[in-house]
Amino acid sequence: MVIDSITDGIVIDHITSGMSMTLYNYLHLDKLTCSVAIIKNAPSSKAGKKDIIKIDRPIDIDIDVLGYLDPGVSVNIIENGEIVKKFKPDLPERLVDVIKCRNPRCISQDEQELVHIFKLTDRENHVYRCIYCESKGKAHFKR
């Protein structure tokens, strides 16, 4: 299979195989008017298989969502056909409206306009806690 390169845009690489649609949905890539390519189960020397997302336009993406959902990804910023910046997102210290608190007694359940905010409390185990009630939330994915 031949996948064209992009001139200007973003490549999210080293996505855990099968996670590309989850990232696509959380990043709201369906709302873009440019081309977005999802490559599933591409060969990977490290993981065996990986997914890749290519976005054919420079955009702002929510790095916190990437770091939370799949911290092993790498993000490549492409300009004029060249990688000008490459980085791996880390677990974010705070997540805003990414996880919803499941504690039925939490104020975030009663106050609908209140944003759901979680703070990273245990980096090693990827544990987040609600800032309102201290309920534990765990990262979706851990490598």
Interval 38-53 mean pLDDT: 92
Q: Are 11 and 23 in contact (CB under 8 A)?
A: no
Task: Write down the pTM of the prediction.
Answer: 0.82
**CB neighbour list of residue 54: distance below 8 Å, 6 or more residues apart:** 3, 6, 9, 10, 11, 12, 35, 36, 37, 39
Say whether pLDDT at 141 is over 70: no
| b/e 3-24 (16+ beta carbons within 10 angstroms → b) | eeebebbbbbbbbbeebbebbb
Give percent above pLDDT 90 in the chain: 62
Res 53: pLDDT: 96
Average per-residue pLDDT for the chain: 89
- When pLDDT is cut at 50, 70 and 90, the band that residue 67 belongs to is confident
Domains, the chain, in order of start with CATH, read 9-87 (3.30.70.140), 94-138 (2.30.30.20)
pLDDT at 31 over 90: yes
